[in-house]
Structure 1
């Protein structure tokens, strides 16, 4: 089996990371330095309240966040006002703050609230998990920094964009909630505060398939659903509705699903509900992609994509005076994304901003005057 490759695309305000083995995308991450996920961060925090029903305590953290420390992770016996050294073990998501675990301190811990250290960025974490992988990036400063951590032999600086057309298309699909299936079928993902619902649509050809072909279609769709769950960092309670099939026939799919579930240590197969839905549960760790990108894409996501395209435009038109035309909400989101516009200026030159209230979503663009 070919060793995996880690691709790191660096653009103003954003880092996109892909792990690919051959032509198969195995992991996808989007990082925004002005709003880090925080996984692995080490904090000095203070207990603000005990939650007996939840089996833990709430802690105030630097930056105004509130984290939860379970009793099983060091919260037992802690009372209001106690200072602790804690690490973030689950990123904030779904409107809830980060999950924490207590960490031993070399001396007594006292205030103020503060961030002691950041956890490893995604590229470094993936490189540690896949020591055989080479990392390819298109940003010289990032390549130099990562070589200092991973060694020069493991980091390649590409003269072309780190993401090829296939990776760009894959990440564009991950920004939506529908996934095309072979034969005209489709997966549709519906995240809610309580659970994730996935609907499998067999497409227009479903009616012409015999029972064996229909079963194979659903089995393939379920495999793709599990892949999408992993790529998108979806978690919690998950229900999958298959395309047609009597409940008894749906049960026949569970044995074949078991080894696919076992390949994801965070995922657990619960079984079949009374309504014939496949029930899964996945441990929460990373922020789901739809919460980072928005669904549909947020003004910030659209603005950062425009800056990414703008860097490419500046490379094609060196010395040109560039203007970003976008809706006011997009420009406001970019202004609030600390460092994104400055990063563009450092890489591509001065950028004028032109607000266009009629600019449709997705039509934001950087152009030469």
Structure 2
């Protein structure tokens, strides 16, 4: 589900909400210590999820033992193939003491905010508009007084802006463009500019073009939730001139609620930005097994509603098994049943439609 915040016809914030694949940030778990790892400064904990969580332990943390039951809160989603990060803590509305002390398996005891609730908190004066009864049913009671009456289709210009976020190439003001390339270690952003024209010297014109494009680029970083280490290669500007771009970069970052830091310019002339990693980025969500599975279902609904069998690799199948509601929504949209078939000949993150 797309969550878009629009202001005067412009997309100003965006998130994906996938109830069948929660990020767990803000959730509280009854957990157990799986292993203490002093060399990593923490412990691995069993939350009852597919992967263990990591609990950093400061020097003044209370002593813990392997197998001990603890209550933890998730502070960072699973990112880059690593499990969630947690901290010691108890929810404000906690479970009864007798229940919390009960011996048993690790389990979820309190849920954190949904993506809708996070955006609503960031934009407290925004009204909530939904396009279907299914979307309306997901609005929590605390936000229902902000929901407009009726159903409203997402405006075409806002829908187009949301779709463009899935592209790796970005159009920027002044004819500039940027190519975003996520890697396991960092996110590389290469800015490009057309040949300079006019009476200004080339380097003066390139500086002005880069400076004018930076606010739009920082907005794209926020909309896509690009996080971790980011490096930006400005367009056509000599390395010795790039230090002058730091003030406009820092100014453009001030509106970001995650408070990213501009670390400076490297010897190669790359602008370094460190943006805290809390939630998965849009590229991570789209390229995850669950994201690819949803893309397959969306393709069927949009382009091939007569499909009766979806052939999938192993990880796509696992993602759909963990989110049966997604398949149910697809079958309701196309008006007939859909068979999901594991196909060993397909790579584990691929899918195809059965030929009639």
TM > 0.5: yes
CA distance in structure 1 between the aligned counterparts of 2:12 and 2:277, rounded to whole angstroms: 18
CA distance in structure 2 between the aligned counterparts of 1:119 and 1:329, rounded to whole angstroms: 32
SS of residue in 1 equivalent to 2:167: coil
Aligned-CA RMSD value: 3.5
1:323 to 2:315 alignment: no
> Which string of whole-angstrom CA distances, capped at 9 and with x for unpartnered residues, describes residues 192-250 of structure 1?
111111111113x3477733321121113332222122111111111111112122211
Change (3 A) 1:69 1:47: same
Name the structure 1 match of 2:348. Answer: none
Name the structure 2 match of 1:175. Answer: 166
Deviation at 1:354, TM superposition (A): 10
Name the structure 2 match of 1:213. Answer: 205
1:23 to 2:23 alignment: no
CA distance in structure 2 between the aligned counterparts of 1:115 and 1:214, rounded to whole angstroms: 53
Change (3 A) 1:28 1:254: same
Gaps of 5+ in 1: 1-14, 314-321, 358-363
Name the structure 2 match of 1:131. Answer: 124
CA distance in structure 2 between the aligned counterparts of 1:301 and 1:86, rounded to whole angstroms: 30
Name the structure 2 match of 1:259. Answer: 251
Deviation at 1:53, TM superposition (A): 3.1
SS of residue in 1 equivalent to 2:129: strand
SS of residue in 1 equivalent to 2:306: strand
Change (3 A) 1:36 1:296: closer
Deviation at 1:24, TM superposition (A): 2.5
TM-score by length of 1: 0.79
More strand by share: 1
Change (3 A) 1:42 1:215: same
SS of residue in 2 equivalent to 1:350: coil
> Which string of whole-angstrom CA distances, capped at 9 and with x for unpartnered residues, describes residues 313-350 of structure 1?
9xxxxxxxx51378733896585442112123445532
CA contact (8 A) 2:310 2:339 kept: no
Name the structure 2 match of 1:42. Answer: 28
Change (3 A) 1:292 1:159: same
Q: Report the count of equivalent residues.
A: 338
CA distance in structure 1 between the aligned counterparts of 2:77 and 2:136, rounded to whole angstroms: 26
Name the structure 1 match of 2:133. Answer: 140
1:83-122 aligned at under 5 Å gives the runs 83-104=69-90, 107=97, 109=101, 110-122=103-115
CA distance in structure 1 between the aligned counterparts of 2:123 and 2:28, rounded to whole angstroms: 24
Change (3 A) 1:231 1:102: same
SS of residue in 2 equivalent to 1:136: coil
SS of residue in 2 equivalent to 1:328: strand
Q: Which has the higher contact order (CA 8 A, sep 6+)?
A: 1
